[in-house]
Amino acid sequence: MITEIRYNRPMTVELSGLRKTFGAVTAVDGIDLRIGDGEFFSMLGPSGSGKTTVLRLIAGFELPTAGTVALDGRDVTRLAPFERDVNTVFQDYALFPHLSVQENVEYGLKVRKVAKRERRERAREALAKVRLEGFGARKPSAMSGGQRQRVALARALVNRPKVLLLDEPLGALDRKLREQMQVELKAIQRDAGITFVFVTHDQDEALTMSDRVAVFDGGRIVQVGTPESVYERPASAFVADFVGSSNVFSGETARTLFRKEGTFSVRPEKIAITDEPAAAPGTVAEVIYAGPVTRYVVDLDAGARVVVVEQNSRTPRALAGLRGQRVRLGWHEEHVIPLPSGKDSAHAS
């Protein structure tokens, strides 16, 4: 089920009936999507789910097999990339190696014949925005990965596009830098008021930065919504599993635990180890200490293996002794999410 959240603002990107096939392979299989003005929109999915192809269709690097792409209410389906008011930050940054950082940033302005003085000024501003003042004379090869990433961002932003497309721009950075850039990107987006369409396979990234997230699977969008709604109310077992991790129950196990027919999902952090006599009994199979949290793997007597995540906010339990012990697991009724029983709701692990 696709939840379409309507914003009371004009739509910048509108995709309808979008399809793209490469030979016998269908990369994008019928996508309808509306992205609002100034929105930070993420396309999340595993590799091969079609999210990058959709981005390339918006940029104009690929032409769709069927369907239309409209930018700002204007049909651009058949227009070349240089005729579209969008800019792209590439996964490999695609900086021009023979040009200096300054020349790279000025490239788009120079192509559009912006006067030299204004070009200089705007490039300087853009570089300041990504905190690279004074780096203009360097060659891209003399910069670190994180710095190159920012140059790529400045080179796109300097053109003040209607929409900025970002293709896994943080993928090549190490964890610390990535988290820092997530915060910066979000700030830059809010500042510039530009629509960001952000492709990623990293669910944390998508949840952290986005106004809305579209989850892709097999060339289709399986759910669209705010990070909270996608996480708290996944529309399918695939979404429940891909966005965060999830315990999925079905069949006999579900009947025993919930006294209801169907497939259900419960997030690991919403399950607690408790003393309540009514809670579900099981045996601890594994205890994994992970710094801020501890993960318990519990085999329920009802027949499912369940992951429980507990904050290490108090002095941790005597962990080693817990393995093999009998425990009881409890949860709140509202945290049990019913999932549509379909082809991908069969696994209960």
Partner 1 sequence: MDAGVDGDQGVSMHRHPRWQLAALLTAPVLWLVVAYLGALGVLMVSAFWTVNGFTGGIVREFSLANFRTILGEEVYRTVTLRSVGVAAAVTVICVVVAVPMAFYMAKVASARARPWLVIAVLTPLWASYLVKAYAWRVLLGNGGPIDSLLGGPGRGPGYGLTATVIVLAYLWLPYMILPIHAGLDRLPDSLLEASADLGARAGHTLRRIVLPLLVPPVAAGSIFTFSLSLGDYITVQIVGGKTQLIGNLVYANIGAAGNLPFAAALATIPVLIMVIYLIAVRRSGALEEL
30, burial (CB in 10 Å: exposed 0-12, middle 13-18, buried 19+): middle
Give the one residue of 30, 38, 81, 330 binding partner 1; rule: CB under 8 A: 81
Nearer to partner 1 by Cβ, of 109 and 284: the residue is 109
Q: Establish if 137 lies at the interface with partner 1 (CB under 8 A).
A: no
Query: Contact region for partner 1 (CB under 8 A) — 65-73, 94-102, 239-247, 250-258?
Result: 94-102
Nearer to partner 1 by Cβ, of 57 and 298: the residue is 57
- Assigned token pair, 263: 């497939």
310, burial (CB in 10 Å: exposed 0-12, middle 13-18, buried 19+): middle
What CA–CA distances, in Å, run from 117 to 113, 122, 153?
11, 9, 21
Q: Establish if 53 lies at the interface with partner 1 (CB under 8 A).
A: no
Mask for 154-193, x = binds partner 1 (CB under 8 A): -xx--x----------------------------------
Query: Contact region for partner 1 (CB under 8 A) — 32-40, 92-100, 296-304, 330-338?
Result: 92-100
Phi-psi map region of 287: left, alpha, beta (phi>0 left; psi -120 to 50 alpha): beta
- Assigned token pair, 9: 């603002």
Give the one residue of 61, 63, 174, 252 binding partner 1; rule: CB under 8 A: 61
Query: Contact region for partner 1 (CB under 8 A) — 70-78, 88-96, 240-248, 295-303?
Result: 88-96
Q: Establish if 107 lies at the interface with partner 1 (CB under 8 A).
A: yes
Give the one residue of 80, 137, 142, 346 binding partner 1; rule: CB under 8 A: 80
Query: Contact region for partner 1 (CB under 8 A) — 33-41, 46-54, 105-113, 216-224?
Result: 105-113
Cβ atoms within 10 Å of 137's Cβ, excluding its own: 10
What CA–CA distances, in Å, run from 38 to 10, 185, 189?
9, 13, 8
Nearer to partner 1 by Cβ, of 90 and 258: the residue is 90
Query: Contact region for partner 1 (CB under 8 A) — 66-74, 90-98, 168-176, 308-316?
Result: 90-98
- Name 172's Cβ contacts closer than 8 Å, sequence gap at least 6: 91, 92, 145, 149
Q: Establish if 108 lies at the interface with partner 1 (CB under 8 A).
A: yes
Phi-psi map region of 158: left, alpha, beta (phi>0 left; psi -120 to 50 alpha): alpha
Nearer to partner 1 by Cβ, of 156 and 309: the residue is 156
CB of 82 to partner 1, least distance (A): 5
- Assigned token pair, 289: 């200490």
CB of 93 to partner 1, least distance (A): 8
Q: Do residues 310 and 273 touch, judged by C-beta distance below 8 A?
A: yes
Give the one residue of 78, 96, 144, 228 binding partner 1; rule: CB under 8 A: 96
Compute, in degrees rounded to 10, the torsion defined by CA atoms 176, 180, 181, 187.
170
Q: Establish if 301 lies at the interface with partner 1 (CB under 8 A).
A: no
Give the one residue of 7, 14, 90, 220 binding partner 1; rule: CB under 8 A: 90
CB of 78 to partner 1, least distance (A): 15
Residues 1, 230: Cα–Cα separation, whole Å? 12
Q: Do residues 256 and 302 touch, judged by C-beta distance below 8 A?
A: yes
Give residue 12's identity as a one-letter amino acid code.
T
Q: Establish if 23 lies at the interface with partner 1 (CB under 8 A).
A: no
- Name 218's Cβ contacts closer than 8 Å, sequence gap at least 6: 29, 49, 50
| Chain contacts with partner 1 (rule: CB under 8 A) | 59-61, 80-82, 86-88, 90-92, 94-98, 107-108, 111-112, 155-156, 159
